A and B are shown apart, each in its own frame.
Chain A
C-alpha cells in the first residue's frame, strides 16, 4: 500500500522537511566539492534535479513492472544503478543535441551525477516507502529541488567566506562541514511540519 500523501505534499516535504542532503546526508561529496562557486553550484543542482526526476520515475517503473513481477527484488541495487547510469548517458545525448545552451551549462556536471549517492538513495527510499508512480515522480523532483536549494545556499555562504579570516585548519572542507551541520540543524526546525514517510 502506498502512503496517503498527495504528490504535492511529497514534493514540498522532500524539498524541505526530508531534504535529502541536510536531513539524510546523502550526496555529500559533490556538495562539498562544487559549492565553492555559485554558478557551478547552481548548474550541478539543476543537473541533479533533472536526473533525479527522470531516474526516480524510471526506477519506479522498473521496480514495479520488472523486478517485482520477475521476483528479482534482490537485484534492486544493481538494477537501479544500471538505470541511473543509462539515464545520465541518454540525458546527456539529448541535451547536447537539442539544447546546446543547456549542455554548455550542465554538460560537465552530468557525468559526475552517475556516482552521486543522493540519486541511488532517493530511488531506494522511493521503493522502501511504497510510493506510487505520481508520488515517486514528485519525490524525485522534490528531492532534486531540495538538493539544489541546499547547494546554492552553501555556495552563497562560501562566497562570503572568501573574505572571512578563517583558522588555517578549518579552511576548505572543514568549515564547509560545520556550516552543513548548522544548516541541517536549521532544517530540523521544519521536521514536524510535514510527514512523508
Chain B
C-alpha cells in the first residue's frame, strides 16, 4: 500500500503543481489584463458614478447603491434588470437576444447583468429606481391571519427608514436553508402605510413547496434578521376624481390595506368600494380593521364575497366575478385597482371591460 502511494506521489504532486501554477498565472493575468481602470457611468444625464471597470453593469450599479430589480442573481435568465444603455455598451450579446423585443432593441435596452463595464457608459434608468435599496430588518411580529396566511412585521435596522408609495412591493430574500440550496428573492406587497416608515408589514400566503413561503412559515422566527430590497412597482392610487373600485383575493389584500391606511379620506371622497373574494369564512381576515375603517369613513364600503358561505352568512356569495356583475351597474368613469391571482384578475378585467371601463382606468398587480 505504502509502495503504491509512493509510486503515484510524484505524479500527483506534479499535476497539483502544474494546476496551481496555471491557476496562479490566470489570476495574475486577470488582475493585469482585465484591469479596465476607472470607468464613468452617467445615469440619466445627471448622476455620475466612477467605478473600477471589469464587472457587470448590474453589479457596478449595486456597488454604488443603485439597485435594478433582479431575481436570478445576474445569470441572465429573469430579464428584470433591463436598462437603456445609450453609449458604450457594445453590440447586443446572444445571451440577451431572447429577452428583448424589437422595440426594446431599437431603444438600446439591454440586460444590465450581461453588459460589462469596460469603458465609460451612458445609461438611462427609471427615476424611481434611485429609491431602491437593500434593507436589513428584524422580524418584530409573525401573526396568523388565517390558517394559511401570515402577517409579518419587519422593523428596519439598516437603513432605518424607508420611503415608498402605498401599493408598491418589495423583494424578500429567502436564504439557503435545509432543502433550499440557493438564495432566492420573492416579491411581496407592503401592507403597511408609508407613514409607518420605520417598518414594513407583509401578508404572505403559504404556497406548498414555495421557496420563500416555506422559509417564512417553517424557519423564520421573531427576532430573526431578514434582507429585502425595494420598493418596486407602479400599482398606486392615481390622482383623479373618479370613483374607486378595489378588488382583492387572498394575500392580494396587502397593497389595498396600505392604500386604505395611507389615505382613507381620499378613498372616502372617491366613494371607494372594496370587493374581497374568499372561499369560506375562515379565509377572511382584517375584518376588525375594515369595520373600524368603514365606521370612521362611511363613504368606504367593504364587500366580502364568499364562494362557499356557511350558515348565518348574510353578505355577498358566489364568485367575486358574480358579485361584481350584480353590484356594478356601470363601469364607465370609474377606476379599478385589482390585486390577486392572474386567473381572478383576468376574469374581473373582462367584466369591467364588458361594462364599459377603458383599459387605462384598470390597474392591477398580478401574483406571478
Interface presence of B4 (CB below 8 A)? no
Interfacial residues of chain B within 98-156, with CB under 8 A of chain A in the complex: 118
Interfacial residues of chain A within 28-87, with CB under 8 A of chain B in the complex: 70, 72, 74-75, 78-79, 82-83, 86
Q: Is the CB of A70 within 8 A of B29?
A: no
Q: Is the CB of A90 within 8 A of B26?
A: yes
Interface presence of A174 (CB below 8 A)? no
Q: Is the CB of A90 within 8 A of B29?
A: yes
A82: chain B residues at CB < 8 Å are: 15, 18-19, 22
Q: Give the CA-CA distance A72 to B25 in the complex, in Å.
A: 22
B14: chain A residues at CB < 8 Å are: 70, 72, 75
Q: Is the CB of B26 within 8 A of A86?
A: yes
Q: Give the CA-CA distance A75 to B12 in the complex, in Å.
A: 10
Whose C-beta in chain A lies nearest to the C-beta of B36?
A97
Q: A86-B25, A86-B26 are in contact. Are A108 and B18 (CB under 8 A)?
A: no
CB distance from B119 to the nearest CB of A (A): 9
Q: Give the CA-CA distance A94 to B29 in the complex, in Å.
A: 9
Which residue from B10, B26, B93 sits with its C-beta under 8 Å from A108? B93
Interface presence of A25 (CB below 8 A)? no
Interface presence of B90 (CB below 8 A)? yes
Interface presence of A104 (CB below 8 A)? yes
Classify the interface of chain A: helix, strand, loop or mixed.
helix
Q: Is the CB of B11 within 8 A of A75?
A: yes
Which range contains the number of A residues in contact with the other chain? Answer: 10 to 19
Interface presence of B33 (CB below 8 A)? yes
Q: Lowest 6 CB-CB distances: which A-B pairs, in order?
A: A86-B22, A93-B33, A97-B33, A104-B91, A72-B14, A108-B94
User: Mind listing 17 A-B residue pairs with CB under 8 Å?
Assistant: A70-B14, A75-B15, A78-B15, A82-B18, A90-B25, A90-B26, A93-B29, A93-B34, A94-B33, A97-B34, A97-B36, A100-B90, A104-B90, A104-B93, A107-B93, A108-B93, A108-B95
Whose C-beta in chain B lies nearest to the C-beta of A98?
B33
CB distance from A30 to the nearest CB of B (A): 15
A97: chain B residues at CB < 8 Å are: 33-34, 36
Interface presence of B30 (CB below 8 A)? yes
B33: chain A residues at CB < 8 Å are: 93-94, 97
CB distance from B8 to the nearest CB of A (A): 11
Q: Give the CA-CA distance A59 to B26 in the complex, in Å.
A: 17
A70: chain B residues at CB < 8 Å are: 14
Q: Is the CB of B11 within 8 A of A89?
A: no
Q: Give the CA-CA distance A104 to B25 in the complex, in Å.
A: 24
A89: chain B residues at CB < 8 Å are: 26
Question: What 0/1 pattern do residues 327 to 360 of B give for CB contact below 8 A with A?
Answer: 0000000000000000000000000000000000
